[in-house]
Amino acid sequence: MKRTRTVVALVLCLFMTGCWDQLQLKKLLFVDIIGIDYEGNSKQLKVDYVISSLREASQGGGRQTSLHMKTTGTNLYDAVSNTNKEMPGILSVLETRLYLISSRFAKDEPLRHLDIASQFASNPLYAYLAVYDGDLSELLSKKSMNDQTVSNFLIGLLDDEIRRGEIPSNKLLHYILGGNQFMNDFALNRFEPYRDEARLAGTALFSDGRYTGKNLNNEETQLATLIESPSGKNQLLSSQRDGKQYSVLIQSAKRRFHVLTNADKLHEIEISMQLQVKLVEDGSEFKRHTDKMLKDMETFIAADLTTRTTKVMAALQQANCDFLQLGHEVAVFHPSLYKNLNWREQYPTLRIKPKVTVKILNTAILE
Amino acid sequence: MMREESINGRQLITLTVMAQLGTEVLSLPHVGAENARQDTWLAVLISGVAAQIGILLIWWLGSRYPNRNFYAYTREVVGRPIGFVLNLLYGCYYSFSGLLITALYTDILKRWMFLLTPRWLIFLMLMIICGYAATSSLKRMAFISQSFIIFPVICFLLIAFSGIYGLDARNLLPVLSHGWAPVIKGVYVAYSAYIGYDLLLYAYPYVQAGSKKKLLIAMSVANALTIVFYVTVCLVCTTMFGQKQLIIVPEPIVFILKNYRIQVLQSLDILFLVFYVFVVSATIYVYFFLASKAFVHLRTSGLGNSYHWVWAIVTICFAASFFLTKRNDILRIAAFQDQLSILAVVAFPLLLLLISGIRSAGRHRV
């Protein structure tokens, strides 16, 4: 009796380990990047996969390689199904790190196609989403970039810049299925062809889930990111004063929105930013900074940043991209006011006034 | 009173928390968002308070018969025939609840992990494990729950700390933007998540808490812990997801756990779902245990033994599982079970308390 029980228990354990759903590692094709564009002038999707694998694997080593595959389909599921007919193995998107979409695809209804990604049981919902302003297949078919695999190069660029607080962190789940923000307006990191490779070139502005065709450059992206998710990550901002170059490294950042109303009407939104920075100046004439000198410098930097931020806000308004979710701010703190507003219509002409204040903490490691 | 080893207050807390936490943890923010929108946390909090009133009710009823369990004194309160029917109803209700929770968890496993594994096999595994646990005594079940309590704690920490990936507190505002009506609806829906405290109906005489008051405190602590768990889950989900997303995504917690990227672990969400079996199974075996006890008490001197009843229930539930394959059917039955729960956990005990009170008042007058 005991033996029977033991055998039954063992057989059950065998079942529990997943005889049916087991996946053999050697058969898995780990998709690192998924590139999506339209095929020619049709609405058929052209999907590129970059599959990463480790060749000549040995203890603690091996050679990373990437395999490029291209297929078409009416949607992502269909494309996967077509790939299965062209390539032996099982496509696994569990570890996908980047969805790269073409600007043409982004201008249409990108989220409608990307929504389906959430239906995969092993969905890579926290993969980055970015735009590429060039030929996706050409980019992804490259064997290497700067002596790195395509995946490591592109994702490495994003990872490092996000860590430095220079660009927004765009994860797929933040935008699909209606988006996790009040307005589905966002700025996606944008790659462009550069020499024989690619580089980050600011952000592509999306309004209501669609690419507006308007972009922010790298510097504007940095400021927009700073306002959207303020944090001091040693971001470097450079400018000139009296022909002399200076830089500030942001140590901490605080931001507040002030919605100003006038007789039950939205009058203005003030964005106040408080930055604490390190000052690094160019030149060989080092002199000890007096309180007055620092005060002057603080005022100058604040005015300069206010002007630059105002330009960023104008660019966002022009694209009707409420990247900062100001609409949410109004809806939450002034619900009755928001109810009578057509935010989409009002936002581009709204008075938005950034106001930056700067406090110089120190001048790096020298006096 | 049938023999049962007693448990202490701490064991009662563990057992009650484990019985209360079920598959609802995964789906509560979604179900709540459909009704109460951004006020889900408020609805869940209020239903927790309502559950506390329910606990008070059962405790009050139990205090009137401190030496007997619920099934033993029903006959005395409402007479032999109605008492028999009541015990039978409770036996069926708990069996049905156990079946439903198993079906819901199987459905989650089937959709997220075991796409090709036959449904009946997952069901069978759960049934065997939970059935085996349900054949043990109240004290042993409490020991099992104490051993597994670490899993809900880990689950809670994982969910709470997922907030570091960015949450927007504005998603909770404005509070009560659509008035109280959606919140009240949310309270009703969320109430079923707290069911499990009704364990006290049976357990009351077997708890050595020191005094009646301490017993009530133990139950209140258990309920408070569950409230904290549920409200945190709802707060995290509401602040991390948009309303549209919450309405579409049935298990937002799994989506949130995907956020964790650990070099040596591929999918924390999958691991979470697997280990969640410890939490879900506790609810199931408590239900099967209560069902078996209800059937045993169909006769004053005892009808059969609890061991055989458990396996009979498990067999019937397993057979019934073959008819529960469509998700929409399971959800429809779950909605029906919510109504049954209100009857079994609130209405009947309240009615019994009233009858018992009236009879007692009558006796005093005589």
The confidence score (pLDDT) of residue B308 equals 95
pLDDT at A196: 86
For chain B (366 residues), the mean pLDDT of every run of 10, in chain order, is: 81 95 89 91 96 96 93 91 95 96 93 88 90 93 92 91 85 88 93 94 92 94 97 94 90 86 78 88 95 93 90 96 92 93 94 91 65
Question: CATH code at A255?
Answer: 3.30.300.210
Residue A131 sits in the same domain as residue A257: no
Assess whether A207 and A72 both reside in one domain: yes
Looking at the domain assignment, is residue A128 inside a domain? yes
**Partners of residue A20 in chain B, C-beta under 8 Å:** 114, 116-118
Token pair of A367, please? 């006096």
Q: Domain limits at B32? A: 7-352
Domain boundary among A216, A250, A275: A216
Evaluate whether residue B358 is within a structural domain: no
Asked whether residue A106 is domain-assigned, the answer is: yes
Give the pLDDT mean for A9-19: 62
Q: Distance from CA of residue A223 to its chain's centroid? A: 14
Q: What are the pLDDT digits (tens) for A283-300?
A: 666 677 788 888 998 999
pLDDT value for A7: 66
What is the number of other CB atoms lying within 10 angstroms of the CB of residue B122? 21
Clarify whether residues A206 and A251 are in a common domain.
no
pLDDT of the residue at A365: 60
- In a domain? residue B88: yes
Q: Answer yes or no: is pLDDT of A19 > 90.
A: no
Q: Do A21 and B121 touch (CB under 8 A)?
A: no
Which residues lie below 8 Å from residue B341, measured CB to CB, with a gap of 6+?
B93, B97, B191, B192, B195
In a domain, B360, yes or no: no
Asked whether residue A212 falls in the same domain as residue A146, the answer is yes
B170 in reach of chain A (CB within 8 A): yes
Question: Count of domains in chain A?
Answer: 2
Residues A68 and A186 in one domain: yes
Whether B363 is in a domain gets the answer no
DSSP for residue A288: P
The pair of structure tokens assigned to A91 is 């496509």
Residues in chain B: 366
How big is the A-B interface in CB pairs under 8 Å?
A: 70
A66 pLDDT exceeds 90?
Answer: no
Contact B261 A179 (CB under 8 A): no
Record the tokens describing residue A31, joined without a space. 């998709």
Is residue B366 situated within a structural domain? no
Helix (H, G, I), strand (E, B) or coil at B364: helix
Residues ≥6 apart with Cβ < 8 Å to B66? B204, B205, B212
Which among A194, A216, A238 is the end of a domain? Answer: A216
Average pLDDT over residues A219-243: 91
Report pLDDT for B313.
Answer: 97
What residues contact residue B196 under an 8 Å CB cut-off, 6+ apart?
B16, B18, B19, B20, B21, B22, B226, B283, B286
Residues 166-205 of A with CB under 8 A from B: 173, 177-182
With an 8 Å Cβ cutoff, is A94 touching chain B? yes
Asked if residue A146 belongs to a domain, the reply is yes
Q: Indicate the number of domains in chain B.
A: 1
Res A94: pLDDT: 78
* Mean pLDDT of all residues in A259-282: 89
Asked whether residue A52 falls in the same domain as residue A149, the answer is: yes
pLDDT band at A128 (very low <50, low <70, confident <90, very high): very high
Alpha helices in chain B (DSSP H): 9-20, 24-36, 40-64, 70-78, 80-112, 119-134, 138-148, 150-161, 181-194, 199-203, 212-240, 243-248, 252-257, 268-275, 277-296, 306-321, 327-341, 348-365
Mutate to test the interface with A, among B39, B240, B255 (most CBs of A within 10 A): B255
Backbone angles phi, psi at B66, to 5 degrees: -65, -15
Whether residue A225 is predicted with pLDDT greater than 70 in this model: the reply is yes
Residues 282-341 of A with CB under 8 A from B: 325, 328-329, 332-333, 335
A305: nearest Cα among A234, A242, A246: A246
A211 and A288 within one domain = no
Residue A80 lies in a domain: yes
Touching check for A90 and chain B: CB below 8 Å?
Answer: no
Residue A14 belongs to a domain = no
For residue A364, pLDDT over 70 is answered with no
Q: How many Cβ atoms sit within 10 Å of the Cβ of residue B112?
A: 18
> What's the CATH code of the domain at B339?
1.20.1740.10
pLDDT of residue B219: 96
Q: Distance (Å, rounded) from C-alpha A315 to C-alpha A220?
A: 9
What is the rounded CA–CA span in Å between residue A265 and residue A54?
Answer: 61
| Residue A340 belongs to some domain of the structure | yes
Length of chain A: 367
Domain endpoint, select from A158, A193, A216: A216
Q: Write out pLDDT tens, residues A159-172.
A: 999 999 999 999 99
Assess whether A313 and A185 both reside in one domain.
Answer: no
CB contact under 8 A, A18 and B259: no
Position A366 scores a pLDDT of 63
- Nearest Cα neighbor of A186 from A291, A60, A89, A324 is A324
Q: Does a structural domain hold residue B15?
A: yes
* Together in a domain, A232 and A257: yes
Q: Is residue A17 part of a domain?
A: no
Residue A221 inside a domain? The answer is no
Determine the Cα–Cα distance for residues A362 and A252; give it in Å rounded to an integer: 13
pLDDT of residue B188: 92
DSSP state of A367: -
How many whole angstroms separate alpha carbon A34 and alpha carbon A105? 13
Interface residue of B245, B247, B253 to substitute, partner A, most A CBs within 10 Å: B245
Domain range for A204: 27-216
- Amino acid B364: pLDDT: 63
Structural domain contains residue B226: yes
* Cα angle for residues A12, A16, A18 (degrees, 5° grid): 130
Residue B189 belongs to a domain: yes
What is the rounded average pLDDT of the residues A115-142? 88
Q: Which residues of B touch A178 (CB under 8 A)?
A: 242-245, 248
* Cβ neighbours of residue B238 closer than 8 Å, sequence gap 6 or more: B29, B33, B38, B40, B41, B171, B172, B246
Q: Which amino acid is at B276?
A: Y
> Which residues have CB under 8 Å from B157's CB, separation 6+?
none
Asked if the model's pLDDT at residue A335 lies above 70, the reply is yes
B168 touches chain A (CB under 8 A): yes
Separation in Å, CA A328 to CA A139, A184, A203, A334, A335 = 38, 11, 22, 10, 10
Q: Are residues A97 and A160 in the same domain?
A: yes
Residue A245 has pLDDT above 90, yes or no: no
Q: Indicate whether A62 and A207 sit together in one domain.
A: yes
In this structure, the answer to whether residues A103 and A187 fall within a common structural domain is yes
Distance CA A25, CA B178 (A): 51
Calculate what percentage of chain A has a pLDDT beyond 70. Answer: 92
Q: Which of A84, A70, A85 is nearest to A35 (CA)?
A: A70
Is residue A280 a contact partner of residue A246, using CB atoms and an 8 Å limit?
yes
The type of residue at A298 is E
User: Above pLDDT 90, what percent of chain A?
Assistant: 53
* CB within 8 Å: B258 and A126: yes
